[in-house]
Amino acid sequence: MKYAAAIALLCFYVASHAQSLSARSLGAGETGMISPVVLMKPTAMRPLYQVSRPPGQRMRTAGTIMTLCGSAMIIGGLVIAGTADPNSGQTYQNSNGTYYTDGEMQEAVGVLGVIGGIGLTVPGIILWTKGAKKYNRYKEQQTSINVTGNGLSLSYHF
């Protein structure tokens, strides 16, 4: 139970941290000039220039993080559900007619971990593959080798 809570908190922290980094890199809350080459953020002294990321790189990174966290949640949920007591969580009736529930609900926590892990893994795989495709397409456009009847040429775009 403790491990599932720790894994869930870690995954929520990673997701919120990635979201805040994404918003910060887009310049949320700041006015700035965005170009395909550099991202200029105004400061008090001088502008800060950063090289812009290639298309698909953030999507690929976010998908990788989501897939890995979702896989860890699935494995953790399966371990918790597999080690749970089968009689845990059952409702019994006392001799005086009151009902009580026995033990913890480890099976339910394990199932929720698996469902949450699937919910992270599936979109993560989609983002990872689409981001990788965009990134590879961009890299192919940057470098090309052309073979013509007269010879061979190599071109690189900056």
Residue 154, domain member (yes or no): yes
For 51-63, give one letter per residue: b (16+ CB within 10 A) or e.
eeeeebebbbbbb
Residue 10, domain member (yes or no): yes
Question: Which pLDDT score is estimated for 2?
Answer: 67
Residue 32, domain member (yes or no): no
Instruction: Look at the chain and report how many structural domains it folds into.
Output: 1
State how far the Cα of 38 lies from the Cα of 34, in Å rounded to an integer. Answer: 7
Question: Which of 34 and 145 is assigned the larger pLDDT?
Answer: 145
Residue 156, domain member (yes or no): yes
Q: What pTM, to 2 d.p., does this model score?
A: 0.56
Domain range for 150: 1-14+49-86+104-158
Residue 21, domain member (yes or no): no
Kindly report, residue by residue over 94-129, the tens digit of the pLDDT. 778 777 776 677 888 899 999 999 999 999 999 999
Residue 79, domain member (yes or no): yes
Mean pLDDT of the region 20-24: 55
Given a cut of 50, whether residue 29 has pLDDT beyond it is no
Question: Which of 158 and 128 is assigned the larger pLDDT?
Answer: 128
Question: Which pLDDT score is estimated for 114?
Answer: 95
Residue 35, domain member (yes or no): no
